[in-house]
Amino acid sequence: MDAGPLVWLRQGVRTSGGTEGGAGAALPDDFPVTAPALPGRVLFDQRWRDLAFLHWPVDPEAVRRFFPPGCEPDVLGGTTWVSLVPFGMSGAGLGEGRPVPWLGSFLETNVRLYSVDAAGRHGVVFRSLDASRLLVVLAARVGLGLPYTWSRMREQEGAAAREWRSSRRWPGPRGARTSIALTVGPPVVPTPLDVFLTSRWGAHTRVAGRTLWVPNSHEPWPLREAAVTALDDELCAAAGVPVAGPPPLVRFSEGVRTVFGRPQLLPTPALARWRPRRVALGTRT
């Protein structure tokens, strides 16, 4: 599906609370609002800082084709979501508490969908991740199968305003851009929809033809009200998930420290259904 860039300027409209797409739905009783314990030791440690969450509801069937085998769109009130998330990465490194100078701090903007697998793990599927460090892009594409792209990026910070801009370098579509400006308000008590969209404890990704679950752990997001004042985005459409109009739910967060554990292999649907027969020793089959 082809679509042009989303260009929108606020004209007396506040987009922060969310009034559609499952906004009034309750979370399932078994939804994990806090992070499960990581399996094994910490592999990566980083801080996500100064994030904007721009959320749009989408039809689950319209995005199902983007999900790797073994997971599917996660829904609340019959709706799933796509999010545009610009932020700053800082102190990223291997292991715990070992940040890599310069290379471990950069800007990133991702387009993400919301996933769940047969084990009940609620995560994200990234459609794109624009980052300002080429080496990070190459390592993540090869090692984890994540669709990182190298982009020119910058951020601006005011007393109660934030702005992010990016323009894609490699791979294409070259020049795909986003420009986001918003004002930041007071802290909010997270709604069930906020929890659904931010309590995500891993990513589903595809590597060498197999689906991986990459778990992470962090404290609950400290969220603030936010309102978009200007938006010019081509990243959602370039990711195959075009959106229209201002996002009905917008939040800002100062950030959280995040650790990642060992990736886990998901069984393929065929293997999940197959069970070997038990054969007694000495019998013929």
Q: Is residue 118 included in any domain, yes or no?
A: yes
Tokens of 40: 């094994």
Q: Is residue 283 included in any domain, yes or no?
A: no
The whole-chain average pLDDT of the chain stands at 90
CA 145, 147, 152, 158 torsion-angle sign: negative
Q: Using CA atoms, how far apart are residues 38 and 211, in angstroms rounded to an integer?
A: 18
| pTM for the model | 0.88
Q: Is residue 19 included in any domain, yes or no?
A: yes
Distances (CA, A) of 101 to 9, 46, 90: 38, 12, 9
Q: Using CA atoms, how far apart are residues 60 and 90, in angstroms rounded to an integer?
A: 33
Bridge-partner residues for 94, per DSSP?
Answer: 44
- At residue 17, the pLDDT reads 56
Q: Is residue 29 included in any domain, yes or no?
A: no
Say if residue 276 is preceded by a cis peptide, omega within 30 of 0: no
Q: Is residue 282 included in any domain, yes or no?
A: no
Q: Is residue 281 included in any domain, yes or no?
A: no
Q: Which DSSP letter does residue 120 get?
A: -
- At residue 284, the pLDDT reads 44
Burial of 14 (0-12, 13-18, 19+ CB in 10 A): middle
- Which string of DSSP letters, residue by residue, matches 38-91? PSSS--EEEEEEEEEEEEEEE-HHHHGGGSPTTEEE--BTTBEEEEEEEEEEEE
Query: Tell me, what CATH number does 185's domain have?
Result: 2.40.400.10
- At residue 285, the pLDDT reads 41
Is residue 235 within a helix (H) or strand (E), and if so which, with residue range? Answer: helix 235-238
What is the extent of the structural domain holding 268? 6-23+38-273
Q: Please check whether residue 151 is in contact with residue 169, taking contact to mean a CB–CB distance below 8 angstroms.
A: yes
Burial of 224 (0-12, 13-18, 19+ CB in 10 A): middle
Q: Is residue 180 included in any domain, yes or no?
A: yes
Reading the chain (285 residues) residue by residue, the pLDDT tens digits are 445 566 655 443 334 555 466 667 899 999 999 999 998 999 999 999 999 999 999 999 999 999 999 999 999 999 999 999 999 999 999 999 899 999 999 999 999 999 999 999 999 999 999 999 999 999 999 999 999 999 999 999 998 999 999 999 999 899 999 999 999 999 999 999 999 999 999 999 999 999 999 999 999 999 999 999 999 999 999 999 999 899 999 999 999 999 999 999 998 665 444 343 444 444 444
Q: Is residue 133 included in any domain, yes or no?
A: yes
Tokens of 212: 């991986």
Q: How many folded domains does the chain comprise? A: 1
